[in-house]
Structure 1
Amino acid sequence: MLHDLSQEELLPRLQTLVYMLASLAIGILMYDQYRQGLYSLVLTNAIAIPAFAFSAVYIYVNRDRDTYRWVNYPLILTLAGLAIYQLPQYPELMKHYLFGLPLFSYFALPLYQATLFNIAVAVVMTALIWLDFGMMKALRTGTNYGLLLGAAWCFAYLTTLKNWSLKRLALTDQASGAYNRRHFLQTLEREIARCDSTRQSFSLIGLAIDDYRQLIDIHGNRVMTQFLPRFTERTQRLIRAGDEVFRLADDLFVLVLPNCQEDGAIVLMERVKRSLQQQTWKPFAEISVSASAVGWQNGEESRDLEKRLLAKLKKQKRTSLQLAAFQD
């Protein structure tokens, strides 16, 4: 069912449907042009049908791979080239044909590439009309195309911004800015699948803020709400560029370290823990952090790896409490 598909899975299927419908529409248009005696247009548009059909088949076959996007570039260039080629001979028809390109290109291409493409088409179209029909007609045509381009760009930009916001809300913890538990489980599955195929490893670091509830009781929820994003940001600065920070519980953060053995994770854990505890966190006098690190073992499931990390972290917290009591 379509409603069960994610946006990444739905888009190639939607593009396949649109391209097949476009092939049908061009076929009907060619029949009308043939009846009117516009034979050169019929022959030119005939090229667009196999271009659309091939693109639809290619995208559907490669719908589960990122490579399907690249077929859109030659398709858009082919459509624009056909229209510009016929523009001097059929200016009114081809202008209206080109006016549909902004919306279509933003549907098929990323925002930045589609914008560059449309600016190039606007310049070429305006120049050709200027040479053949004069400055005033060229300015009117360029202005109309620019208005359509601006409207299509605003719609595409707002859609992109909305999708980014929704994705961010779905993947991140709103209080701390770290990734949430749902994304953590997906990341573990992804890393396990990658390590199974590449024979590499990855590790996890667990960070637990000690006396978390006591800090809330003393300073209040508002202060803790301001503290958590700073804690996440500071932690992110202490790890590598490809590592990720997740918040699994109120006081529990987990770092996922791709391509990192357990020995390296332990060294990084000690550095992160020491830096976080030495950091000044106003209005807190200081914070205490318990930490543990585990490396993925061949054949281990994500749930088992998480349980092993939490068990080791719990043992570490118990040891720290016993050591503190002994020192007192």
Structure 2
Amino acid sequence: MDKATLLQLAAPGKLPERIVFAASMVTIVAIFLANVWIGDPALRVYVLYVLPLLAIGMQSARRGYYLAGAVTALSLEALSFVYFGIPVTTLVGNIVLEGLVAILCLSVADTARVNYLKVLNLARTDDLTGAMNRRAFVRAAAQEIERQARYGGEFSIMMLDLDDFKGLNDKHGHHIGDQALRNLAEAIRNSTRRSDSVARIGGDEFVVLMPNTPKAACASICQQLRRAVAEGMKDSGYVVTASIGSVTFGQPPESVDVALRAADAAMYCAKHEGGDRVVNS
């Protein structure tokens, strides 16, 4: 496993939280046993409890896991103090201090995880519409091509472009154009499945990756979306239609670019035929 893969796995929120929690609890117990086995309280082995607590905070959002980890660590620390015969006043002082340290560690780790996931989401998302951006879509499509090469099956790609979007901007202003794009993204999400990947890859160009979708099913979804776009835009106070092209792959395409070019060609066929229509290939 290379360094990049290891760093990716170690990133906040990347590992299964149940596995991380279980491993962290085992580590806490192991630290306690090591502390007792070494038998020298002066070494302060118990400070290592912060490491599994940091792991829990970095990989999980469950407050129950936080509480269980902190309580277990502090309880075992207190038990080790009793085992070593440390005075009660010292024991209480250390437990209070370590409790504050545990809260701080979990808080810092939780904040780091939340901020990391926010930044990651921004890096994958189109600011205006909330759809995927081109980079995220290319990654998802590459994974689907790899899956198809390994397991077979079909997948489809749909590309959509608003008809005369420039005219809409010129007549009503860019704020209306932006709202039209947001409405379009919402219409696409409502007309497709949760397993589909919706992305904005250009000004008014959207693309949808549809795993395990044969041509007939894709054609049906495209027609449903075409009607939804026309009706949705009409309800917003301006008439805009969409040209939609789709292509279904029974065999893996050479690359994501090849797949996108095929969908783009189908979409432009729909546009050249007058717009407000679907071309499936």
Above 0.5 in TM-score? yes
Shift of 1:287: 2.1
- Equivalent residue runs for 1:1-328 within 5 Å: 6=4, 8-10=5-7, 74=23, 76-85=24-33, 86-87=35-36, 90=39, 92-93=41-42, 96-107=44-55, 110-112=59-61, 115=66, 116-126=68-78, 129=81, 136-279=89-232, 283-301=236-254, 302-321=256-275
SS in 2 for 1:291: strand
Q: How many residues align?
A: 265
Structure of higher CA gyration radius: 1
Shift of 1:313: 0.6
2:60 maps to amino acid: L
Contact 2:243 2:276 in 1 (8 A): no
SS in 1 for 2:274: helix
- Greater relative contact order: 1 or 2 (C-alpha under 8 angstroms, separation 6 or more)? 2
Shift of 1:78: 4.9
Contact 1:102 1:149 in 2 (8 A): yes
Shift of 1:110: 1.7
Unaligned runs of 5+ in 2: none
Contact 1:88 1:128 in 2 (8 A): no
Instruction: State, as a whole percentage, how many aligned pairs show the same letter.
Output: 18
RMSD: 3.5
Distance of aligned partners of 1:120 and 1:78 in 2 relative to their CA distance in 1, 3 Å threshold: closer
Q: Quote the Cα distance in structure 1 between the aligned partners of 2:92 and 2:188.
A: 55
Unaligned runs of 5+ in 1: 15-65, 324-328
Larger fraction in helix: 1
Q: Quote the Cα distance in structure 1 between the aligned partners of 2:112 and 2:184.
A: 32
Q: Quote the Cα distance in structure 1 between the aligned partners of 2:180 and 2:51.
A: 44
Residue deviations 1:177-222 (CA, integer Å, cap 9, x gap): 1111122222221111101111111111112111111111122222
Residue deviations 1:121-156 (CA, integer Å, cap 9, x gap): 224434665797676555433322221112212221
Contact 1:210 1:251 in 2 (8 A): no
Residue deviations 1:209-257 (CA, integer Å, cap 9, x gap): 1111111112222233344334323321321111110111111101111
TM-score computed with the length of structure 1 as normaliser: 0.68
